Chains A and B, each alone.
Chain A
Amino acid sequence: MASGFASKWSKVGRQLLGGVGNNFSGLLSTSHEITCGNPLFQQQRTFIQMRTVLKVVDNSGAKKVMCIQALKGKKGARLGDTIVASVKEAHPNGKVKKGKVVYGVVVRAAMQRGRCDGSEVKFDDNAVVLVDKQGQPIGTRVFGPVPHELRKKKHVKILTLAEHIA
């Protein structure tokens, strides 16, 4: 299952077209490319908020959780933030059962997150690692790529359990 990530090296932003067509026509020659680069045809990803279903990428037993609350941020959670979630789907014999309220750290988000060197990183899916209230991971392994941003957010434990660091 490919959950790759795309990092754009220039902050292209959403204000490409609409008046700046002069510069743009030099870059894109065919109409197909214009269509693909058009912000009207690109999906605008947003924060992780209440009712967002996320995938669980550790071996704690849960498969899907639904976000109940993003702990920090008015608009919602982003990459590296902690959320409160309810387990919607779980493996039959796992440490967490369906219906349990757990905390989680977002390790992959479809919404792009800017890095300090100007690049942005975004993933194909929304994924979360379950932790307890003190920040200890419940599972013992984390699958898939995780970004560097977790180090700054003091989630080095999740980084050490990860199999691939993006």
Chain B
Amino acid sequence: MWAALRSRSSSLHPWKQGIAVPPGLNPTAFYSSSFTTATTNKAFLSLQEIEKVLNDVRADDVKVLSVPNVHADWADYVVLATGRSTWHVKNIAQALIHKAKQKQKGVDRKVLPSVEGQEEGKWIVIDSGKIIVHALDEKAREYYNLEGLWTTETSQKEPNLELEKAFVKIRPKNNSKKPVQKVA
């Protein structure tokens, strides 16, 4: 069954460009197919390499989040980086792609991470399988507020407790001289 799956995926999704991760396959199947072709595991930049590249490019405010809850089954790490201008953001993307190309120097078929938003340098996403890098400029970072999105989702349970307390009935204080009329 795995052989059929592999052949089907290779025929439907040619590996010439981008990470064509078939959405139905789970990560274990993905790795099993990648071990048959020894080249593909070189394509993915490790976390240390990405950090090094971002330091070289001098990206601001680099944050690495391991997203356990919502995005668990399709990514392991999410890296956020800010660029000072659109040119800087494009440069961050270019540097990461260059690093990926360098890593696969001897290979005849290179697998590059997929890039979105390249021509407009406001928000560029570099998707390399397990690690997703978001390069934003400062305005976009403030506008989309991705840290707020991902840190509030872990603390979604907490507001509920306060909500239960909020609906507790509080007896109004009776400061008038009239005695309280008892409701029969």
Pairwise interchain contact B20-A117, C-beta atoms closer than 8 A? no
Known contacts A136-B120, A148-B23; decide if A165 and B71 are in contact (CB<8 Å).
yes
A14 adjacent to chain B (CB < 8 Å): no
> Are A116 and B12 in touch, CB under 8 angstroms?
yes
Contact of A116 among B22, B71, B134 (CB under 8 A): B22
Please state if A161 and B22 are interface contacts (CB–CB under 8 Å): no
Contact with B along A70-101 (1 / 0, CB 8 A): 00000000000000000000000000000000
A135 at the interface (CB under 8 A from B): yes
Within 1-53 of B, Cβ neighbours of A (below 8 Å) are at: 5, 8-9, 12-13, 18, 20-25
A164 at the interface (CB under 8 A from B): yes
State the Cβ distance, B152 to closest chain A Cβ, in Å.
10
Q: How far is the CA of A163 from the CA of B71 in the complex (A)?
A: 9
Interface: A160 (CB within 8 A): yes
Smallest CB gap from B120: residue in A = A134
CB < 8 Å neighbour of B143 from A119, A140, A154, A160 = A140
B116 at interface by CB-CB < 8 Å: yes
B144, closest chain A residue (CB): A140
B74 touches A136 (CB 8 A): no
In the complex, what residues of B have CB within 8 A of residue A140's CB?
143-145
Check if A151 is an interface residue, CB within 8 A of chain B. yes
Assess whether B125 is in contact with A117, with CB atoms less than 8 Å apart: no
* A119, B23: Cα distance in complex, Å: 11
Q: Is A152 an interface residue (CB 8 A)?
A: yes
On whether A116 and B149 interact (CB within 8 A), knowing A136-B123, A164-B70, the answer reads no
Contacts of B132 in A (CB 8 A): 156, 160
With an 8 A cutoff between CB atoms, is B119 at the interface?
yes
* Residues of A in contact with B (beta carbons under 8 Å apart): 115-119, 134-136, 140-141, 147-149, 151-152, 154-157, 159-165
Report B's interface with A, CB cutoff 8 A: 5, 8-9, 12-13, 18, 20-25, 70-71, 73-74, 78, 114, 116-117, 119-120, 122-123, 125, 127, 132, 134, 143-146, 149, 153
Q: Knowing that A152-B23, A159-B74, A160-B125 touch, tell me 12 more A-B residue pairs with CB under 8 angstroms.
A: A116-B9, A116-B23, A135-B116, A136-B123, A148-B74, A152-B21, A154-B18, A156-B132, A160-B132, A160-B146, A160-B149, A161-B149
